[in-house]
Structure 1
Amino acid sequence: MSAVLWPVTVRIAAALDTASGTSEHEAAMRLMKVTEEAGEASAAYIGMTGQNPRKGTTHTPADVADELCDVIIAAAVALHSFTTAPAAVLDAKLHAVARRLTSPSEIPLPQGEQ
């Protein structure tokens, strides 16, 4: 994961907290933003493949990648609304998923556990 992901999302979440508060409604809005961004990634993929004959090919793989980055950022920002340790929660989840897919010897240990 990018070394700047968490420091930057802390700043974004703090700015959103200042502008919009930290209510349950605001947490829901941040969660819905993830879905909005995922829809934009899907739309970019449709545009990349030309699946809409009326529009043709309108996007590139770079456009899809850009939209996927927006999904990741929105999810990281939203995660701040549901835990005080978003980096640790993601790290634990990432390793849990990896354990389901690979043998234990193939999974890199987090720094400090080697």
Structure 2
Amino acid sequence: MSDDDLWESIGQLQDWLARAQPARPPQETLLLRMLKLSEEVGEVAEAVIGATGQNPRKGTSHTWDDVRSELCDVIITAAVALRTLSPDAREVFAAHLTRVTDRSLGPDSP
């Protein structure tokens, strides 16, 4: 999937959410998108605990494929939240990724 396809899909998901959910003031919609991100991160934690069998009551209840899937949900949810906040999400993300990469992998990186 190309970068264009990815952000096109994110836009389609955002549009679908706007149609499928009750109308709310824009600020409330944005806040709920941010809360959804916390929910998805919690699902990653649940999947890791399940994949490692750390809950004695449930045992091994998830697989590492479940963890991968939940991590993808976090990325998608974050991208939808970013696009809800910024219609130019693609450019915002690309610029931020460049800054983080330069800072982390610059001439002084280990």
Q: Pick the TM interval, shorter chain.
A: 0.7 to 0.9
**Counterpart residue number, 1:65:** 68
Contiguous gaps of at least 5 residues in structure 2: none
For 1:24 and 1:52, the matched residues in 2 are separated by: 38
Query: Deviations for 1:4-57, whole angstroms, at most 9, x for unmatched residues?
Result: 220011111112223444621111111111110110011000111111111111
Query: Deviations for 1:67-108, whole angstroms, at most 9, x for unmatched residues?
Result: 00000111111111211210111111111111121125xxxx
CA RMSD of aligned residues (A): 1.9
Identity, in percent, stands at 44
Letter in 1 for 2:15: A
TM-score (norm 2): 0.85
Letter in 1 for 2:86: T
For 2:26 and 2:80, the matched residues in 1 are separated by: 15
Contiguous gaps of at least 5 residues in structure 1: 105-114
The alignment covers a number of residue pairs equal to: 105
After TM superposition, give the deviation of residue 2 of structure 1 in Å: 4.9
For 2:105 and 2:78, the matched residues in 1 are separated by: 25
**Counterpart residue number, 2:12:** 11
Query: Which has the larger helix fraction?
Result: 2
**Counterpart residue number, 1:109:** none
Give the 3 Å change call, closer, same or farther, for CA 74–2 of structure 1 in structure 2.
farther
For 1:54 and 1:17, the matched residues in 2 are separated by: 39
1:29-108 maps to which residues of 2 (within 5 A)? 29-103=32-106
Post-superposition, which runs of at least 4 consecutive aligned residues in structure 1 deviate over 4 A? none
For 2:20 and 2:54, the matched residues in 1 are separated by: 39
